[in-house]
Amino acid sequence: MTRPHVAFLGTGLMGAPMAANLAKAGFPVTAWNRSAEKAEPLRAFGVTVAATPTDAVADADVVVTMLSNGASVDDLLFAQGVAAAMRAGAVVVDMSSVKPTEARDHAARLAAMGIGHVDAPVSGGTKGAEAASLAIMAGGDAAVIETVRPVLAAMGRPVRVGPHGAGQLAKLANQAIVAVTIGVVAEAMLLVEKGGGDPAAVRLALKGGFADSIVLQQHGERMTTGNFVPGGRSINQLKDIVNALEAASACGLTLPLTEQMRARFERFVRDLDGADEDHSGIYLELLELNGIGR
């Protein structure tokens, strides 16, 4: 069976390894990135690099977008003419983290043009992107999701979580869990270190127990070794928390722990220049809060 031609728009920290994995799986891939030099290394995997986004999608069956926010996706699809350049029957798979309302709006506008839409944000960070083990939360029509499932499966583990917008809602739930967990892991690592324990040994001791998590093992290590090279940038974590709280407000809900982490990440990003630090860098905000130098 001929594999569908995939256009991949947005080859940053996450997008580049995702596009590479599609090519490794045998899909013909054409990539585009606003900063063209970030797409060039993909040529080594057999990926064609397009000069413009409209060139990239001209012959595509599936168009994957991996951008920073909903406004960027909207601008690319509609203001820059990507949707107009796509053929009828093609499918947009938006793997960016956007608001559920934005995903539903994009789906409706694309449907009017004869183009399918799946909102399929991911979790797993750069390690998951590189290992093709991302958690993929797909929202949209079940039949359409099935048509793009092989594409999604080349990048991770896709699960349909509901209609249009549900994928983004699942991602916001994920990001609320991640934010709160990062916050308490930072407190635990600082408590262990200042109390005279060995953070690495404590993480090993907790492995497999109720308190264990990927955040504890991966980000706990980042915190105690001082490695805040971004896998997931703090400014994006803040964006997702704000979007989660907006969705909660629309449901008439108050989420106190998520609200606390919004305030902390806002302080880290805006007052402590942490925008481009990994989101485990909230540990640095905790150090500053306690009057402890980096």
For residue 29, CA distances in Å to 4, 60, 90, 99, 164 come to 9, 9, 15, 27, 25
Residue with tokens 């919004």: 262
99 is catalytic: no
CA–CA separation, 284 and 62 (whole Å): 41
Give CA separation, 39 vs 11, 36, 52, 79, in Å: 6, 6, 12, 22
SS3 89: coil
3-state SS of the chain: helix, strand, coil percent to 5? Answer: 55, 15, 30
Q: Which secondary structure element, helix H or strand E, spans residue 191, and what is its range?
A: helix 166-194
The single residue of 24, 99, 171, 239 carrying the catalytic annotation is: 171
* CA 11 to each of CA 26, 41, 119, 161: distance values in angstroms, whole numbers, following the listed order: 18, 10, 18, 26
Active site residues: 171
